[in-house]
């Protein structure tokens, strides 16, 4: 998840990345495993409701050999698609990249037990999924696990029970030109990235995420660049976070750069187009936050436009309840050259919040900052900075206190939004 931290809180942060060698020697990942690129010849298998050899996507996938293309024509397909194992590596599942809304996989009807995943890729490297909409799945829209290399592009994932577009325990992938909306947890989620001695980075670019509980969740995520994307009208915008529930804490070496992160004030507790699930554990992240670094090392938040988030623009907090104590502190993160408050026309409740925990975290070149916690700015060391940061227990307590608010709005500081053509602020969902 992470929608729920074992506790919850808010804080903010940052610091400068250091050379990979400084992070210590990681063991190679035990999985996923390498797979040979297929040599062909390659074939294209056609799927459609009438007149094609295959009437279901799964039937075509079952016949596909490594590197083949499964081309799916327009229509609504009520099924779950599984692409599993090395025998399905390098497969391309192609719908309509120009208009993904024309090729829909739908989990809403037809089975007593609800369908869980729209497309599920497990252990098949370098699979491409391009040009689909997944909706109404009880679990996830598009989901890859245990792979090296994946491409999820021109996708829409909406009204999912948990995550929209999701990669877990995987190395080096791409999520691009896609949209996730009204999902019950993260619209986009990359979790449990195996540490690597020679990291393969993942890229999230040109995506939109809105109406979700969390726009982007990254539990123990590493080597991910999130860029040129819009994160708005979610409960919380982007949350790289350290949790015990998954392997390889904390999140590391991620870069959040050149994004628009605004209006993340969707109080889904008041109303939502999905049934809000109450986990048996933890407390949810507070509503009204643009970016929250909840534990983490060497993550950079750079050159973003961050505005209209009623609680906090960028927060960084120590993950105080993490069992793995050596991964709880914020180390070497940076928040640099961001523009807060849209030139004073669409202010955040508080632009930056940081409990001053950890070391080597720094802040520099951020424009439009009007409100901070701690208010005296003592925690916000200028870049570059090495050494222990100025821990502020009162600021930490205040930020964590926000998570316990039953209304989820009590600590908001509302400001008027600047009009934005084609966009409407979402705070309370109405049918």
Q: Cβ–Cβ contacts within 10 Å for residue 198, how many?
A: 7
Secondary structure letter of residue 63 according to DSSP: H
Q: Which is nearer to other proteins, 147 or 314 (CB)?
A: 147
**Considering the complex, what minimum distance in angstroms separates the CB of residue 280 from other proteins?**
4
Residues 152-181 binding other proteins (CB under 8 A) are 161-163, 168-169
Backbone angles phi, psi at 402, to 5 degrees: -60, -30
Q: Does 183 bind other proteins (CB under 8 A)?
A: no
Cβ partners under 8 Å of residue 136, min gap 6: 106, 107, 108, 159, 160
Q: Does 387 bind other proteins (CB under 8 A)?
A: no
Q: Which is nearer to other proteins, 287 or 372 (CB)?
A: 287
Q: Which is nearer to other proteins, 4 or 262 (CB)?
A: 4
CB 151 within 8 A of CB 173: yes
| Tokens, residue 331 | 């180390």
**Considering the complex, what minimum distance in angstroms separates the CB of residue 314 from other proteins?**
26
Backbone angles phi, psi at 317, to 5 degrees: -135, 145
Residues 234-293 binding other proteins (CB under 8 A) are 244-247, 277-281
**Considering the complex, what minimum distance in angstroms separates the CB of residue 192 from other proteins?**
8
Beta strands 4-5; 283-284: pairing state: antiparallel
**Considering the complex, what minimum distance in angstroms separates the CB of residue 261 from other proteins?**
24
Query: Half-sphere exposure of residue 361, counting CA atoms within 13 Å on the CB side?
Result: 33
What burial letters (b/e) apply to 318-340, b meaning 16+ CB within 10 Å? bbbbbeeeebbbbbbbbbbbbbb
Q: Which is nearer to other proteins, 191 or 341 (CB)?
A: 191
**Considering the complex, what minimum distance in angstroms separates the CB of residue 147 from other proteins?**
14
Binders of other proteins: how many residues, by CB under 8 A? 33
Report the Cα–Cα distance between both ends of the chain, in Å, rounded.
27
Q: Does 139 bind other proteins (CB under 8 A)?
A: yes
Look at residues 11, 20, 2 and name the one whose alpha carbon lies nearest to residue 253. 20
Q: Does 184 bind other proteins (CB under 8 A)?
A: yes
CB 25 within 8 A of CB 305: no
Q: Which stretch binds other proteins (CB under 8 A): 140-148, 151-159, 222-230, 314-322?
A: 140-148
Q: Which is nearer to other proteins, 12 or 121 (CB)?
A: 121
**Considering the complex, what minimum distance in angstroms separates the CB of residue 409 from other proteins?**
22
Residues 65-94 binding other proteins (CB under 8 A) are 80, 82
Backbone angles phi, psi at 336, to 5 degrees: -135, 140
Residues 97-136 binding other proteins (CB under 8 A) are 113-114, 116-117, 120
Burial of 356 (0-12, 13-18, 19+ CB in 10 A): buried
**Considering the complex, what minimum distance in angstroms separates the CB of residue 243 from other proteins?**
8
Q: Which is nearer to other proteins, 96 or 146 (CB)?
A: 146
Q: Which is nearer to other proteins, 160 or 356 (CB)?
A: 160
Burial of 376 (0-12, 13-18, 19+ CB in 10 A): exposed
Q: Does 140 bind other proteins (CB under 8 A)?
A: yes
Question: Cis omega before residue 137 (within 30°)?
Answer: no
Residues 4-23 binding other proteins (CB under 8 A) are 4
Q: Which is nearer to other proteins, 162 or 287 (CB)?
A: 162
Q: Which is nearer to other proteins, 218 or 332 (CB)?
A: 218
Interacting residues toward other proteins by CB under 8 A: 1-4, 80, 82, 113-114, 116-117, 120, 138-140, 143, 145, 161-163, 168-169, 184-185, 192, 244-247, 277-281
């Amino acid at each position: 998840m992470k929608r729920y931290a074992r506790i919850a809180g808010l804080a903010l942060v940052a610091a400068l990345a250091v050379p990979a060698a400084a992070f210590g020697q990681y063991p190679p990942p035990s999985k996923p495993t390498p797979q040979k690129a297929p040599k062909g010849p390659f074939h294209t298998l056609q799927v459609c409701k009438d007149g094609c050899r295959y009437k279901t996507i799964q039937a075509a996938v079952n016949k596909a050999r490594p590197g083949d293309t499964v081309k799916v024509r327009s229509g609504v397909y009520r099924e779950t698609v599984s692409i599993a194992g090395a025998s399905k590596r390098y497969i391309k599942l192609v719908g309509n990249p120009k208009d993904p809304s024309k090729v829909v996989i739908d989990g809403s009807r037809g089975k007593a037990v609800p369908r869980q995943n729209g497309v599920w890729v497990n252990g098949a490297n370098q699979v491409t999924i391009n040009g689909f909409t997944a909706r109404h799945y009880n679990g996830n829209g598009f989901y890859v696990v245990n792979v090296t290399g994946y491409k999820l592009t021109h996708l829409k994932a909406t009204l999912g029970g948990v995550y929209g577009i999701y990669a877990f325990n995987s190395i080096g992938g791409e999520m691009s030109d896609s949209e996730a909306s009204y999902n019950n947890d993260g619209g986009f989620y990359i979790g449990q990235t195996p540490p690597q001695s020679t990291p393969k980075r993942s890229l999230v670019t040109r995506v939109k995420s809105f109406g979700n509980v969390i726009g982007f969740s990254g539990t123990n995520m590493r080597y991910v660049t999130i860029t040129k994307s819009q994160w708005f009208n979610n409960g919380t915008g982007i949350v790289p976070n350290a949790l015990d529930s998954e392997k390889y804490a904390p999140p590391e070496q991620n870069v959040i750069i050149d994004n628009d992160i605004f209006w993340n004030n969707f109080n889904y507790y008041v109303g939502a187009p999905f049934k809000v699930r109450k986990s048996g554990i933890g407390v949810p992240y507070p509503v009204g936050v643009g970016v929250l670094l909840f534990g983490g090392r060497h993550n950079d938040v750079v050159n973003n436009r961050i505005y209209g988030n009623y609680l906090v623009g960028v927060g960084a907090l120590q993950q105080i309840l993490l069992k793995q104590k050596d991964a709880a502190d914020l180390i070497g993160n940076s928040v640099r050259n961001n523009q807060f408050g849209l030139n004073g026309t669409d202010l955040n409740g508080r632009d930056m919040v940081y409990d001053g925990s950890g070391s080597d975290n720094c802040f520099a070149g951020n424009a439009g900052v009007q409100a901070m916690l701690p208010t005296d700015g003592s925690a916000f060391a200028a870049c570059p900075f090495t050494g222990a940061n100025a821990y502020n227990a009162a600021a930490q307590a205040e930020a964590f206190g926000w998570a316990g608010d039953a209304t989820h709005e009590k600590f908001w500081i509302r400001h008027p939004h600047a009009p934005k053509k084609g966009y409407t602020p979402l705070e309370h969902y109405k049918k």
